[in-house]
Structures are given as C-alpha cells and as structure tokens.
C-alpha cells in the first residue's frame, strides 16, 4: 500500500517538475519571443533610423548643393551688378577723346546714316542751274528746295550771272543753306584782279591780281588780300573760294601770266601761303589750284587739250615745291587741273583723271590729307574726249574726292551711282572722300570744343 503511495507521490513529483519545466520552457519561449520581437523592433528602429538618416543626409546634401548653386548665381548677379561700376572705373582710366577724335565720331555717324544716293550726290560741286534746270538762277525757292531734296550735292558754285544785288545774293545763299539736308559748300572763284565776280557786282572790295601782288615783292600784300576777300565772302555765307593760284608762270606766254604770282618757286610759295592763311582765318576754305602745273603751258584747258613739256626733275624742284609748302602750311582743299603731264604719267591723260598724279604723287608721296577736287569738268580738255559719266568715274577712281561742274550733272551722278552699286567704285572709297569733305564742313564744331 505504502509502495503504491510512494510511487504515486513520485509520479506526482515528476508531473510537477515536468509542469515547472514546461512553464520554464514556456516562459523561456515567451522571453525568447519577446527578445526576438525586441530585437526586431530594435533592428527595425535602427533600420528606419538609418533610412531616415540617409534621407536626412541626402536632403542635407541636396540643400547644400542648392545653396552652393544659389550662392554661385548670387555671385554672378553681384558681378553683373558690379560690372557697370567696374566698367565706369575702367573708362575713367582711358584717356579722353581729343576734339579731333570726337569730330570724327560725329562725321562717321553722319555718313553711316546717309543713303547711298545722298553719299554720291555729296561728291559733286555744281552750279545752281545744274540741279534746278533753269537757265539763270537768281533765287533759291521751291525749285532749289526740291532739287536739293532729290540731289543732296556737296557744294554749289556761283558766278556773276547769279548776282543781282547784295540783298538778293545773301537771301539766295541763306535759303540754299536752309534747304540743304546736310552741311553744304557755297563757293565762288574770287581770285582778285579780273576774276572777281562779287567785286565786279559791287558786293565786296576788289583786290589786286596775283601778278600785281607778285610784282610788289611784298608777300604781306597777299595776306591782306586774302583777309579782305575772306571777310567779304564770309559776310554773304560763302565758305569756299577757288583761289589762290599756285601755278608758276614759267613758260613764255603762260596761260597763267596774269593770274600767277610769278615764276620763282620760293617767292610764289610765300605769296600763296599768305593768301591761303588770310582766307582761312576768316572761315573761308581756300582751294589751291591747279595741281600740278597749270601755268607751264600756253594752251588753256577751257579750250582743249593742254600738255606740259616740263621734265619730272623740273616739276619736282619747282612746281611741286610750291604745293608742298601749301600742304605743310595746312591746305584744306587742292584742285587738280586738266593739264596732261607726260613726264609723270607717260601719256596725255589729264592730270585730274590720273591715279599716278592724284593718288601716288599728291596723296601718297606728298602726304596731302585734305580734299582733292577736280577743275571744272565742263572744260573742253575733258568734255571733248570723255563723257560726263565716264570722266566723273575716272576722276574718283584716280583719287579725287569731289567733281566740279560736270558738263551733264545728271549723267555724271547716275554713272557714279551705278559704279558704286556694281562695285566699280567701292562704298568705302565714297565714305573716305566724304570724311575729308565733312572735316572741313564741320570744322566749326571742332573750334567750339
């Protein structure tokens, strides 16, 4: 009986221990589960935290990148904002333009704005009849206004037939200047002596001829004559005088006997420069003539071909020496004559149409930078051998800047315009001539600086 009880008790003890063990295992399992859950939670938290950190880091890096970009853009904006100031500071260190450079800027702007038709017209110096179509022009009214609108010529030359009295002539010139779209040359040929249209009409005091002044032996008289002429001409608005004559009357019965100061280069140089200075000090541009040797023949280019027999050595030591003196003294305008000079050109081409004479000799060798104008192109030395258009194109290609009095202005104008349009004459060549012309026309602006 006791043995059975003992066995029962043992079995009970075994079952109790088994329950305790199972409970311990259950608790352990629960703890393991809790631990696993906890670990999982911890890992999950860490994982999520890591992802958040990565996301935060990525966001931070992106923010830093954007900030850097913004800073760069801001810096660029600062540079652009500071650029005008820096440029201004830089400009302050650049030397200021000289009055001559400022004048060139004004002239270039003016020429750039001109249509090609006006540019071409600006190279012509014509009579008022040539553009208006009337037989004798004695006033400037609607006809002149319309003509200058269509043909913006660079200059108009007046003669005795255009003058009735002082009031009429003054009004005519004032209106002409008013109607011109651009600054315009208003010219006459007032040399003194027999070639004095204003003096002949009683508008100015008559001056002695060059030959009379030359015979006096006093170059100061040439200056006084120039001053007197300049004062009288400027009073009417004339700004160009086709004088003085710089030719030497150094051949027997020279065509320039009464119009030249003499035959000695040194003496004549002094007379011509004095006359030129007298005119130009009164605001009248002197046109020195007739390059290179208008007095070295008996023949008159008004009547036909004139050929000089002077040698190159003679020309260089005498005639050209006079013109060089004028250039050195500030000549603003030189007229090239129509006399043929085979010693220089090798043929009988009129000097005004020869590139050898105009460009190679006068412009390049002698260093002349002023305006070169032809003698009147209606003279028979030109008109009997060349058409008006042909002669005008040849003169410009030779290096002349202005064409004086073509026999047929419209023909000459149309020929030059066509030559520019087809490239025979470059527009740069036209612009170059206009720059020289306008440096004279706008010189008063330079004086006001």
CA 98/CA 241 separation, integer angstroms: 29
Contacts of 305 (CB under 8 A, 6+ apart): 299, 340, 348, 381, 384, 385
* Contact between residue 103 and residue 137 where contact means Cβ atoms under 8 Å apart: no
Amino acid 193: pLDDT: 95
Amino acid 18: pLDDT: 53
Amino acid 67: pLDDT: 38
CA 275/CA 174 separation, integer angstroms: 26
Where exactly are the structural domains of the chain?
A: 1-94, 99-448
The tens digit of pLDDT for each residue in 131-169 reads 999 999 999 999 999 999 999 999 999 999 999 999 999
The tens digit of pLDDT for each residue in 306-319 reads 999 999 999 999 99
* Contact between residue 396 and residue 421 where contact means Cβ atoms under 8 Å apart: no
Amino acid 55: pLDDT: 39
Amino acid 72: pLDDT: 42
The tens digit of pLDDT for each residue in 183-216 reads 999 999 999 999 999 999 999 999 999 999 999 9
The tens digit of pLDDT for each residue in 7-28 reads 555 555 555 555 544 444 444 3
CATH class of domain segment(s) 99-448? alpha beta
Contacts of 104 (CB under 8 A, 6+ apart): 435, 439
CB-neighbour burial class of residue 229 (10 A; exposed 0-12, middle 13-18, buried 19+): buried
3-state SS record for 97-145: CCHHHHHHHHHHHHHHCCCHHHHHHCCEEECHHHHHCCCCCCCCCHHHH
CA 59/CA 177 separation, integer angstroms: 78
The mean of the pLDDT values for the chain is 85
* Contact between residue 203 and residue 163 where contact means Cβ atoms under 8 Å apart: yes
pTM for the model stands at 0.79
Q: What residues in the chain have per-residue pLDDT under 70?
A: 1-94, 445-449
């Amino acid at each position: 009986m006791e043995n059975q009880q003992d066995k029962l008790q043992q079995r009970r003890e075994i079952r109790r221990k088994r329950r305790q063990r199972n409970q311990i295992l259950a608790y352990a399992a629960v703890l393991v589960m809790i631990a696993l859950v906890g670990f999982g939670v911890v890992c999950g938290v860490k994982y999520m935290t890591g992802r958040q950190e990565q996301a935060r880091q990525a966001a931070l890096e992106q923010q830093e990148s954007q900030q850097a970009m913004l800073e760069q853009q801001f810096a660029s904006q600062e540079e652009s904002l500071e650029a005008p100031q820096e440029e201004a500071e830089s400009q302050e260190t650049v030397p200021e333009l000289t009055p001559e450079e400022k004048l060139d800027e004004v002239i270039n702007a003016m020429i750039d704005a001109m249509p090609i038709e006006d540019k071409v017209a600006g190279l012509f110096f014509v009579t008022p009849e040539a553009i208006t179509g009337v037989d004798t022009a004695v006033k400037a009214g609607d006809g002149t206004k319309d003509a200058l609108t269509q043909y913006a010529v660079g200059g108009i030359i007046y003669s005795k037939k255009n003058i009735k009295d002082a009031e009429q002539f003054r009004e005519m010139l004032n209106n002409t200047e008013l109607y011109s779209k651009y600054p315009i040359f208003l010219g006459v040929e007032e040399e003194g002596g027999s070639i004095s249209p204003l003096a002949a009409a009683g508008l100015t005091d008559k001056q002695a001829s060059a030959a009379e002044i030359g015979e006096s032996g006093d170059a100061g008289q040439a200056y006084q004559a120039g001053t007197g002429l300049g004062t009288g001409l400027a009073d009417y608005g004339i700004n160009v005088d086709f004088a003085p004559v710089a030719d030497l009357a150094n051949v027997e019965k020279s065509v320039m006997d009464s119009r030249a100061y003499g035959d000695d280069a040194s003496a004549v140089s002094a007379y011509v420069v004095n006359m030129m200075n007298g005119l130009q000090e009164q605001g009248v541009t002197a046109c020195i003539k007739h390059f290179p040797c208008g007095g070295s023949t008996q023949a008159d280019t008004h009547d036909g071909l004139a050929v000089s027999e002077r040698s190159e050595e003679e020309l260089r030591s005498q005639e050209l020496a006079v013109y060089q003196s004028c250039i050195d003294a500030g000549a603003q305008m030189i007229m090239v004559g129509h006399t043929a000079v085979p010693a220089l050109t090798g043929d009988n081409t009129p000097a005004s149409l020869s590139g050898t004479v105009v460009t190679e000799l006068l412009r390049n060798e002698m260093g002349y930078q002023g305006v070169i104008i032809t003698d009147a192109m209606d003279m028979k030395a030109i008109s009997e051998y060349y058409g008006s258009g042909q002669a005008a194109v040849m003169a410009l290609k030779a290096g002349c800047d202005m064409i004086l009095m073509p026999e047929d202005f419209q023909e000459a104008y149309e020929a030059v315009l066509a030559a520019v349009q087809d490239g025979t004459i470059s527009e740069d060549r036209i612009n170059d001539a206009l720059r020289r012309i306008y440096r004279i026309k706008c010189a008063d602006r330079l004086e006001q600086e």
